[in-house]
Structure 1
Amino acid sequence: MKTTDWKDTSVGEIVAEDFAAAKVFKKYGIDFCCHGEVTLETACASLKLAPEEVMQALKQQKENGEGRIPFSSWPLDLLMDYILKIHHRGIRKNGPELLTLLEKVERVHGEAHPELHELKLLVSESLNDLEMHLQKEENVLFPYLYDLYSAQEQGQRMEPMHCGTIANPIRVMRMEHEGEGNRYLHIIQLTDHFSVPQDGCASYRLLMQELEAFVDALFEHIHLENNLLFPRFEEIERQIVG
């Protein structure tokens, strides 16, 4: 990061510049993916946090140098490859496995912990909605973005997208991101931040670990698209389409 005074910087921009900041924001419950446009000061105010405390944590994370992936320096085609091959594949592989584990834990602990019934419903609904979301990206938006990237690299002009502008599908993707983000923020509260009750078995502990990993990956997915991929492609479209 280029500064240690981030009060007036958007939280999405802070994470886009240095992804290690995501660990700090997760600790404090700051939403950097779906609402990455808000400033750090505003985000802290909404959560009744002291901005100075969060900025000190950001500074320490920066000095530690841990968790740093240079997403912002990657070419856009590589970023899309990563999203497709890591995140899309991960959702399709890990999601059903997570649901199967959740159903097992619900059968054993559901009577004592009825919140597991709601959790299963939320995860099941999410996986169905996410599959439709991934198909839209793979079949509609990303093919055009790959062509847009190639055209820019070759110094060529591009014809407009069949729906007029990429702003239209991107708007839909952002809305769906926000819906999923809100759903999983509710899940975080429902599970008391992935806590395991005293009577929880090994499968219950594994469920919470796997659920937290799934949510972390999903939030990374949303961040990469909302704060890096989409804004940069919208700028490219303004330069070479028409």
Structure 2
Amino acid sequence: MNILHKNVGDIVAERFSTAQVFKRYGIDFCCHGGVTLEKACANAGVDTEQILDALQKEETAIAGGEIPFASWPLDLLIDYVLKIHHRGIRSKGPELLDLIAKVRRVHGEAHPELNELYELVRASLEDLEMHLQKEENVLFPYLYDLFEAAQQEHSIGAMHCGSIANPIGVMHMEHENEGNRYLHIREITHGFRVPEDACGSYRLMLAELELFVDALFEHIHIENNILFPRFVELEREWVR
């Protein structure tokens, strides 16, 4: 299949290094990964030949070493999301917010966008905590059971809410909300660009913020484009 006709999320699922190319060109591969590369380029106002060239260069530069998420067992993917991404949000999120508050106190007058940045990240961490709890207490326990049933080749009863499509739909909606929030953060920070008058703390804040956003988008990508679709397939096969 011509790569331009493949969904962006599928491209990243097959080769995660392409995420860096899409990030550079402002193409959303996680929350809106269900559109073709051709349409994503049109939406972002990017020339397709430019993207294809960048993808080819990225593939040449990467000699193995990227994490093959798409080939992992589903229970390992859940473990990774819980132990890397859920823990990371809870440990790094408050530290990041404290750093933004520190920089805002010093530079807020010259850079009023820091006030909006602080409020965006504060609200995000509150919403993310509720999101993580839904995954940990409602969705993931059943997904573990479903995976185990499929491994043992026996059917199990439906989830208490009828189908995993229901909580997954909620997760998709919340992912899109967070994705849009952090795309806006990229805009107001001008792509995490360091201002000329920035001090060391300002530079550190932007670097940590970009790392936090990259990790969040990896989290959303794994769930939206790999984990959830594969579990929907398992549900069709093993839930009675």
Say if 2:69 is the partner of 1:63: no
For structure 2, which runs of at least 5 residues remain unmatched after alignment?
Answer: none
SS at match of 1:32: coil
Structure 1 runs of 4+ aligned residues shifted over 3 Å read: none
Alpha-carbon offset, residue 60 of structure 1: 1.5
- C-alpha distance in structure 2 between counterparts of 1:136 and 1:114, whole Å: 34
Alpha-carbon offset, residue 197 of structure 1: 1.0
Alpha-carbon offset, residue 59 of structure 1: 1.4
Say if 2:17 is the partner of 1:8: no
| Superimposed CA distance per residue, residues 54-112 of structure 1 (whole angstroms, 9 cap, x where no aligned partner) | 01111121122256210000000000000000000000000000000000000000011
Say if 2:16 is the partner of 1:19: yes
- C-alpha distance in structure 2 between counterparts of 1:55 and 1:81, whole Å: 34
Selected match of 1:34 from 31, 48, 53 = 31
RMSD: 0.9
- C-alpha distance in structure 2 between counterparts of 1:19 and 1:175, whole Å: 23
Alpha-carbon offset, residue 9 of structure 1: 0.4
- C-alpha distance in structure 1 between counterparts of 2:67 and 2:59, whole Å: 12
2:200 match: 202
- C-alpha distance in structure 2 between counterparts of 1:65 and 1:191, whole Å: 29
SS at match of 1:113: coil
Selected match of 1:51 from 43, 48, 51 = 48
1:148 match: 146
Give 1:1-242 correspondences, 5 Å limit. 5-65=2-62, 68-242=66-240
- C-alpha distance in structure 2 between counterparts of 1:28 and 1:136, whole Å: 32
SS at match of 1:207: helix
Residue 166 of structure 1 aligns to which amino acid in structure 2? I
SS at match of 2:198: coil
For structure 1, which runs of at least 5 residues remain unmatched after alignment?
Answer: none
SS at match of 1:141: helix
What percent of counterpart residues are identical?
65
- C-alpha distance in structure 2 between counterparts of 1:47 and 1:166, whole Å: 32
TM-score by length of 2: 0.98
- C-alpha distance in structure 2 between counterparts of 1:112 and 1:53, whole Å: 37
SS at match of 1:208: helix
Alpha-carbon offset, residue 191 of structure 1: 0.3
- C-alpha distance in structure 2 between counterparts of 1:53 and 1:195, whole Å: 23
Moved more, 132-141 or 195-204: 195-204
- C-alpha distance in structure 2 between counterparts of 1:218 and 1:134, whole Å: 12
Residue 6 of structure 2 aligns to which amino acid in structure 1? T
| Superimposed CA distance per residue, residues 110-169 of structure 1 (whole angstroms, 9 cap, x where no aligned partner) | 011000000000000000000000000000000000000000000110100000000000
TM-score by length of 1: 0.97
- C-alpha distance in structure 2 between counterparts of 1:192 and 1:61, whole Å: 24
